[in-house]
């Protein structure tokens, strides 16, 4: 398994976990309320789950990898913007920032290797 595959699986598992938590965890529900985005919690969770599955599909079908990693990059860019908007510190913003950069790397590496 090469580095791109390992990072893709890592990102996929992370987003599948975050997506499930966003749907089921009361603390995640409170976070979305704190952000003023309670109405987007289910959509965000669904996009995280879809993106996580898409990354795995992308290991066999590259267009799914490009679409999923690109979509997750944009989703996490929005997450970083929300964290900045509510004045969360670097520690709270770091997971979204790292996942954004990870998925941007996956996207660029996958396109370059095609």
pLDDT tens sequence across 38-94: 999 999 999 999 999 999 999 999 999 999 999 999 999 999 999 999 999 999 999
Other CB atoms closer than 10 Å to residue 114's CB: what's the count? Answer: 9
With 90 as the cut, is the pLDDT of residue 1 above it?
Answer: no
- In the block, tokens 């990354």 appear at 55
d(CA 45, CA 23): 6
Task: Give the whole-number percent of the chain exceeding pLDDT 70.
Answer: 100
**DSSP alpha helices (H): ranges in 1-114?**
3-24, 26-35, 41-58, 62-85, 90-112
The pLDDT, as a whole number, for residue 51 is 98
Confidence of residue 34 (pLDDT cuts 50, 70, 90): very high
Domain of residue 100 covers 3-112
30 exposed, middle or buried (CB, 10 Å; 0-12, 13-18, 19+)?
A: exposed
d(CA 78, CA 90): 15
Model confidence pLDDT, tens digit, residues 4-15: 999 999 999 999
Question: Based on the structure, what is the number of domains in the chain?
Answer: 1
């Amino acid at each position: 398994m090469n580095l791109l595959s390992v990072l893709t699986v890592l990102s996929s598992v992370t987003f599948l976990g975050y997506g499930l938590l966003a749907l089921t965890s009361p603390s995640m529900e409170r976070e979305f309320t704190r952000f003023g985005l309670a109405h987007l919690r289910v959509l965000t969770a669904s996009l995280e789950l879809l993106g996580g599955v898409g990354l795995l599909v992308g290991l066999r079908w590259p267009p799914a990898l490009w679409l999923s990693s690109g979509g997750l990059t944009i989703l996490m860019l929005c997450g970083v913007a929300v964290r900045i908007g509510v004045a969360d510190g670097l520690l709270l913003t770091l997971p979204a920032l790292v996942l954004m950069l990870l998925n941007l790397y996956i996207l660029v590496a996958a396109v370059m290797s095609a």
